[in-house]
Amino acid sequence: MDIKKICVIGLGYIGLPTASMLATHGLRVVGVDVNPRVIETLRGGGLHIHEPGLRTLVQAALGSGNLTVSETPEEADVFMIVVPTPFYEDKRADMRAVTAATEAIVPYLHRGNLVVLESTSPPRTTVDLLRPILERTGLKAGDDFYLCYSPERVLPGQTLRELIENDRVIGGVNRPSAEAGRDLYSLFVRGEIMLTDATTAEMVKLMENTYRDINIAIANEFARLAERFGVDVWEAISYANRHPRVKILRPGPGVGGHCISVDPWFLVEAAPDLTPLILTARRVNDKQPTFVLHLVGRALGGDLNGKRIAALGLAFKADVDDLRESPAVEVAYLLSEHGARVRAYEPFKPDAVVEGVENMPTLAEALADADALLLLVAHTELRKLDPAEVKQLTPARIVIDAVGGWDAAQWRLAGFTVYRLGDGKE
């Protein structure tokens, strides 16, 4: 397929890096986002998301003239849909952004075009949602234009490298569509490109994140059991993982982000009668913030009312600025709801707004006047804190580690009482 111009709809954590990557590989790219603030920020030379190396890549793409940004699509050879797919309160997939993006393409779709959906979606979205909308043009998917699904598989914090190096799964509504998708991704992907049908590709992405969710759930249950049985779960996991066929993951305050905490629900929604294990794992991980709440309550004598807590980290995982579905945010909110005065410090998003929580611009401000310190995210900056230096910044002498990020012995040596999630030996 001859590709000269690409329209990328959605300039978030995946869309913007992808659009910039394609532009720096010599393609003309128009990046589209319905949020005018995103467009205004990019046109002004700013960046609305944090990802290592992304600023340099975006500036190079814009500076080359190959990348432009707009609030509306334009005619192109390829249309890529990279918009969010969150869920409603009842855990059903919210496909409004995907639907709107697909409908926005219709006036510009021509014979020979390629449409690619990257947004994580329930099985059969490509064939049952996108195809009927696009065929309103009178063109037939697979015959007159190509249609495929190719999920992103990158790790936040490693996005730019993994966009290039990771293997790619491309599922077409027919073989020519999958091959057209291969023509697109082979422009920058060095990993192996595997071709299949669209629904299989959708299933692959959901399986990958559901597998991880289930494995995190068992780690969280082990942490709960360890507390009950008087065991240090971190010690027990280190020994269990010496078995050549065992790899237990790390427990924590829960599961967040736009993938692992969301994708399993798509399978539960699509086939509730076949997914009791997936549903149970989701419920385990969704309830984990409550167990952290109880740990903090125990550390502070059972009464949180009026207690001043420094919550360190709000992102859904270490060294990223993404707060979507973050269990750390949920813990901070629960503490506030139970009467605690919560001051948070999120180094990657100091301007984040969380209901009931005062997000401080500096660590020192978050620590001042605290009764206890609560580590919620294992950001490198927070893991490397020197307890002797921290002691000079706060009257708090209680620390609660919800992620296994601190050396308990060092903090005790500095004069702190240490509580750790999953440590029943305390």
Question: Which residue numbers are catalytic?
Answer: 205, 259
Residue pair 61/20 in contact (Cβ under 8 Å)? The answer is yes
Residue pair 338/409 in contact (Cβ under 8 Å)? The answer is no
From the number of C-beta atoms within 10 Å of its C-beta (0-12, 13-18, 19+), residue 87 rates as middle
The 10 Å CB-count burial string (b at 16+, else e) for 209-245 is bbebbbebbebbbbbbebbeeebbbbebbeeeeeeee
- CA torsion 171→177→179→183, rounded to 10°? -100
Strand order in the sheet with 308-312: 357-359, 341-345, 308-312, 372-375, 398-401, 417-420
What angle is formed at CA 232 by the lines to CA 228 and CA 237, rounded to 5 degrees?
110
What is the C-alpha to C-alpha distance for residues 145 and 134, in angstroms, rounded to an integer? 9
Q: Which two tokens stand for residue 340?
A: 């605690």
Q: Which residue has the tokens 């814009």?
A: 62
Residue pair 359/348 in contact (Cβ under 8 Å)? The answer is no
Residue 292's identity, in one-letter code, is V
- CA torsion 401→265→87→132, rounded to 10°? 150
Bridge partners (DSSP) listed for residue 418? 399
Helix axes 198-229, 263-270, angle to 10 degrees: 110
**Ramachandran angles phi, psi of 222, nearest 5°:** -60, -40
